[in-house]
Structure 1
Amino acid sequence: MLRSHQKMSEADIEQMNEMRKRDIPISRIDDFLPSLVEGYENVPYITRDMHNVNAKQRRERGLDVDLCLRYLCECKANDPVFSYKKVIDQDRVLQRLFWCDGTSQIDYQIFGDVIVFDAMYKKNIYLSPLVVFFSVNHHNQTVVLTATLVADEKDETYVWLLQ
């Protein structure tokens, strides 16, 4: 079980994908696999490897973006002042995603005298900066005003963001 020897074969990945298509969670797949190969010692990878392969496939297929945009559409349906904007490049890759709910817009009107923004650098699985705009309310509590996920930190990205 040395890390350098842990590897999912193409057959293992295909088997996992077939089980995932039937809505079997990875934890259940991990419980089932040892019975196929006569013991845990014969499974050459760990649960984390299955999660990593699954996440990589989702990123490559753009499933996370589709789910996120679908979720934002639902938020817009439930909150009429909710807003979001996206920029997708010619390769259909999401470059920028901005969102703000109704409560945050009210907070901006009340507490928007001083706004701070912080780019949390490459702390997510996409290695993209997450830019959060926030302020402080009359109780000295942080109030999140909006958030944006960006693919780069070019000048035009921040101009778009601030507009």
Structure 2
Amino acid sequence: MKQTIVNNCKLNIGATKTFRILAEQSNGYANIGASLTEFKNFKRNIKCYIGEKDADMILDYLKALSESQDGFYYAYQVDEDNCLAKIFWADAQARMNYSLFGDTITFDPTYGTNKYHMAFTPFTGVDNHKKSVTFLLCTCRS
């Protein structure tokens, strides 16, 4: 049950909806083995655990990828308060695509920001087969 909540959190599915899904799969709310309040409390505890460590967690994840995957690259910058301000990553396939077809790139920094005022900016290139090639950049919007 807890793993289902964690997995659904990754998909941006909240505790209430997860509770309803499990009730449907279990043939009723009485068969779940927990209350909606317990689901919400568990999700709250996950958020508390992550707390202010979310930037460290993503950087640790990217470091692990760079150590385990040849050609994986990432870079980041922090601001004057030592808070994550910019982050960029690309795997070997994205880097190869960029080196071969990087002459046409567009980006839209108006996509939106998260609670840290960071914009998630997709870069899209076009290869010689007229296929889109996507690159990603997260930057701090002022």
Q: 1:148 to 1:48 in 2, by over 3 A?
A: farther
SS of the residue 1:129 aligns to? strand
What's 2:137 paired with?
148
Amino acid at match of 2:60: R
- Unaligned ranges ≥5, structure 2: 7-14, 20-31
SS of the residue 2:118 aligns to? coil
Q: Distance in 2 between matches of 1:81 and 1:107?
A: 12
Shift of 1:48: 6.1
Q: How many residues align?
A: 118
Shift of 1:139: 2.8
Residue 42 of structure 2 is aligned to residue 60 of structure 1? no
Q: 1:139 to 1:94 in 2, by over 3 A?
A: same
Q: 1:151 to 1:48 in 2, by over 3 A?
A: farther
Shift of 1:107: 0.8
Question: Which has more radius of gyration?
Answer: 1
Q: Distance in 1 between matches of 2:58 and 2:96?
A: 24
Residue 67 of structure 2 is aligned to residue 77 of structure 1? yes
Q: 1:102 aligns with which of 89, 92, 95?
A: 92
TM-score by length of 2: 0.62
Q: Distance in 2 between matches of 1:77 and 1:106?
A: 18
Amino acid at match of 2:79: D
Q: Distance in 1 between matches of 2:80 and 2:122?
A: 26
- Unaligned ranges ≥5, structure 1: 1-22, 35-39, 154-163
SS of the residue 1:60 aligns to? helix
Deviations 1:42-61 (A, max 9, x none): x5xx956864x356535532
Q: Distance in 1 between matches of 2:115 and 2:125?
A: 26
Q: 1:90 to 1:143 in 2, by over 3 A?
A: same
Contact 1:107 1:143 in 2 (8 A): yes
- Residue pairs, 1:1-163, within 5 angstroms: 24-25=2-3, 27=5, 31-34=32-35, 43=37, 47=39, 51=43, 53-54=44-45, 56-57=47-48, 60-62=51-53, 64-119=54-109, 120-122=111-113, 124=114, 128-144=118-134, 146-153=135-142
SS of the residue 2:96 aligns to? helix
State the Cα RMSD in Å.
3.4
SS of the residue 1:95 aligns to? strand
